[in-house]
Amino acid sequence: MQYALLVTGSPYQTKACHSALKFLKAALLNPQHTPIGVFFYEEAVLIGNALSQPPRDEFDLRKEWAELAKAHHIPLYLCIAASVRRGIVNETESKRYELSQHSLAEGFQLEGLGTLVELMNTTSKLIQFR
């Protein structure tokens, strides 16, 4: 079964990003499950901010997402509108807005809502974490 994840809860105010990560790790143990992407929307896009740094003695949620996605070739999409609104930009958007640096974490990519619609139309299930 192919599926996609939609994460909308803040990584700092809710357990949505934690729960989605745990779910994905468990689902990957079953070869019948094929995740084709994770779309972060609303406050969840904060997970892709390279400039936020957790204390050294805390779990690095962003790093865990990036490593899992890289190991299993799962794209991690951040809603571009929600990201730019929160100061998360890639090199292209940084130049567009004449900023001196970019803040998109490695392993994440900015995409529009069309990507979410495509995920919804090409999978068996869309599972949301709020």
Active site residues: 79
Ordered DSSP codes for 35-66: EEEEEE-GGGGGGGBTT----TTS--HHHHHH
Strand 125-129 relative to strand 2-7: parallel, antiparallel, unpaired? Answer: parallel
Residue 121, classed as helix, strand or coil, is helix
Distance from C-alpha of 40 to C-alpha of 130, rounded to nearest angstrom: 10
Specify whether the CB–CB gap between 103 and 49 falls below 8 A: yes
